[in-house]
Amino acid sequence: MIGAEGLYLVYLVAAICFILAIRGLAKPQTARAGNNLGMFGMGLAVLVTLLVLPTRNDLGILSAGFLSAFIGIFLANKVKMTSLPQMIAFLNGIGGLSSVLVGFAQILNEKVYLFDAVLAIVIGSVAFSGSMIAFLKLQGKLKRGRFYLSNLFSVVLLFLTVFVWIEFAFNGRMLDGYLLIWVSLALGVSLTLPVGGADMPIVISVLNAFSGFAASAIGFSIVNVALIMTGALVGASGTILALIMTKAMNRSIVEVFFKKIKISEGVDLQDKTARVSSVQDAAFLMENANKVIIVPGYGMAASGAQHALQNMAKILEEKYHVEVKFAIHPVAGRMPGHMNVLLAEAKVEYDKVFALEEINPDFETADVAYVIGANDITNPLAKTDASSPLYGMPILEVFKAKTVFVVKRSLGAGYSGVQNPLFFAENTLMLYGDAKKVTEEIVADL
């Protein structure tokens, strides 16, 4: 059959398929073709491996494979679009877990310390336990408690991991191997536990990178170029996403994991009052506008307002000939690109949805900016107040619009703990209430 060189070439083809799969995601037009190419590459890699390996337990492998196909496809079809961040965190964790299992299987098989396999075990364990905590948090099963000890724990566990690792490397005792798994699992938990909801996009990206690099490490230990290349690709992808997100939030990765957010007042806004408006006024102003820009944030996702929003946009466009655009900040929501998926689900055409740099010049000429469930990403202090923790963070410049409607449940500070002077500006009108309910009321009034 095909020899070692043939096998190598097939793996190379698979890796190229994966590169082109991600390349396909550059544009929505080519994205599905990219995904299909990814599936093809994966099928090819698995098939050729099955053909070449002298497996003794075909039945076991086939049952594990079919069971995973059955459950995987079932779960993927069942999950609601609003629960996508959890699903992605869960799958990511599972990926890390399989690297851990393979690494450990290898060590048990050869009964010696193997650097590559141990590397896969440590990175994979952190990815696994961290992703599971992220999953539970996104699912709402773990409330953000007060884990005061957590930072110290993480540092201690980090040292412990290194210590056990060195111990294992020098003694090669299997007991140290077992211990290392538990210590790195604990490290993943303690790193992720204190992280707040708005930092989730960053955490998910970092964990994504980890599971990729764990696969790469397995590639080193079984000497397989397909694994090394693919793992590196995934690792790079997660790293870049994390960098984009941290830049868009004006935070560093270290801050995300180790620094607690201080609740500060920033500027004193006590003596100012926000002006409250009604849905009737909002409907009236938007009907008579030439251009309306909608700015969704996590509050929109939480209340499931995307369909109501699309309804509103549609009526405004078709009945009143208003130009409607959607503006999305890179960190809006709980995972990278979260808002885009939700709007796409509500059938908002993607050519009406704009990223930060594309849309910012538009606010000056907009009659109405409709900010729904977003806060920090619109805070003008990021531009003006050098002492603010938000200073330097790129924001959506909604304050430049003629009128700004802010749909929010209360006047509270955003996740950053900084008050938002936008709410008290001359041209801002508040609409208190649930994002979906308020939008539906406006739709009824149009």
Partner 1 sequence: MSLLFLLTVFILSCFIGYFVVQGVTPALHSPLMSVSNAISGIVIVGALTTAALSDPFSIVEALSLFAVFFAGLNIFGGFVVSNRMLKLFKKKDEK
What is the footprint of partner 1 within residues 355-394 (CB under 8 A)? 355
CA angle, 127 as apex, 125 and 133 as ends, to 5°?
100
- Shortest Å distance, C-beta 313 to partner 1: 12
- Shortest Å distance, C-beta 252 to partner 1: 19
Count of CB atoms situated within 10 Å of the CB of 365:
13
Of 398, 373, 376, 375, residue with least CA distance to 388: 376
> Of 19 and 446, which CB lies nearer to partner 1 in the complex structure?
19
> Of 267 and 341, which CB lies nearer to partner 1 in the complex structure?
341
Q: How many residues bind partner 1 (CB under 8 A)?
A: 109
User: In a 3-state reduction of DSSP, which class is residue 25?
Assistant: coil
Q: Of residues 2, 6, 9, 27, which one binds partner 1 by CB under 8 A?
A: 27
- Check binding of 91 to partner 1 (CB under 8 A): yes
Of 29-37, 251-259, 361-369, 400-408: span binding partner 1 (CB under 8 A): 29-37
- Check binding of 304 to partner 1 (CB under 8 A): no
Separation of alpha carbons 346 and 340, rounded Å: 10
Of 16-24, 136-144, 372-380, 429-437: span binding partner 1 (CB under 8 A): 16-24
- Shortest Å distance, C-beta 395 to partner 1: 16
> Of 168 and 405, which CB lies nearer to partner 1 in the complex structure?
168
User: In a 3-state reduction of DSSP, which class is residue 429?
Assistant: strand
Cα 296 versus chain centre, distance: 16
User: How many residues are given for the chain?
Assistant: 446
Half-sphere exposure of 81 (CA within 13 A, CB side): 16
Q: What phi and psi values does residue 321 have, to the nearest 5 degrees?
A: 55, 45
Q: For residue 393, give the amino acid letter.
A: M
> Of 50 and 444, which CB lies nearer to partner 1 in the complex structure?
50
> Of 59 and 254, which CB lies nearer to partner 1 in the complex structure?
59
- Shortest Å distance, C-beta 194 to partner 1: 23
- Check binding of 75 to partner 1 (CB under 8 A): yes
> Of 234 and 438, which CB lies nearer to partner 1 in the complex structure?
234
| 330-349: contacts with partner 1 (CB under 8 A) | 330, 335-338, 340-341, 344-345, 347, 349
| 30-49: contacts with partner 1 (CB under 8 A) | 31-32, 34-35, 38-39, 41-42, 45-46, 49
- To 10 degrees, the CA torsion angle through 23, 29, 31, 33? -100
Of 324, 327, 330, 285, residue with least CA distance to 445: 285
Residues 159-198 as x/- pattern, contact with partner 1 by CB under 8 A: ----------------------------------------
Q: Of residues 220, 258, 391, 415, which one binds partner 1 by CB under 8 A?
A: 220
Of 205-213, 293-301, 394-402, 413-421: span binding partner 1 (CB under 8 A): 205-213
Of 219, 238, 208, 241, residue with least CA distance to 95: 208
Separation of alpha carbons 416 and 302, rounded Å: 18
Q: Of residues 138, 215, 294, 390, which one binds partner 1 by CB under 8 A?
A: 215
- Check binding of 112 to partner 1 (CB under 8 A): no
Of 406, 309, 337, 394, residue with least CA distance to 360: 394
Separation of alpha carbons 197 and 145, rounded Å: 12
N-to-C CA span, the chain = 70
Q: Of residues 2, 67, 175, 276, which one binds partner 1 by CB under 8 A?
A: 67
Half-sphere exposure of 290 (CA within 13 A, CB side): 7
State yes or no: is 351 an active-site residue.
no
- Shortest Å distance, C-beta 3 to partner 1: 15
- Check binding of 290 to partner 1 (CB under 8 A): no
Q: Of residues 183, 218, 312, 398, which one binds partner 1 by CB under 8 A?
A: 218
Separation of alpha carbons 319 and 58, rounded Å: 63
Count of CB atoms situated within 10 Å of the CB of 109:
10
Separation of alpha carbons 40 and 48, rounded Å: 12
- Shortest Å distance, C-beta 163 to partner 1: 25
- Check binding of 109 to partner 1 (CB under 8 A): yes
- Shortest Å distance, C-beta 35 to partner 1: 5
Separation of alpha carbons 341 and 336, rounded Å: 10
- Shortest Å distance, C-beta 72 to partner 1: 3
Separation of alpha carbons 208 and 189, rounded Å: 15
- Check binding of 154 to partner 1 (CB under 8 A): no
Q: Considering 176, 199, 376, 434, which one is annotated as catalytic?
A: 376
Strand ordering across the sheet containing 291-296: 353-355, 323-328, 291-296, 368-372, 403-408, 428-432
Structure tokens belonging to residue 188: 């993943």
> Of 305 and 418, which CB lies nearer to partner 1 in the complex structure?
305
Residues 221-260 as x/- pattern, contact with partner 1 by CB under 8 A: xxxxxxxxxxxxxxxxxx-xx--x----------------
Beta strands in 144-194 (DSSP E): none
Show which residues are catalytic. Answer: 376
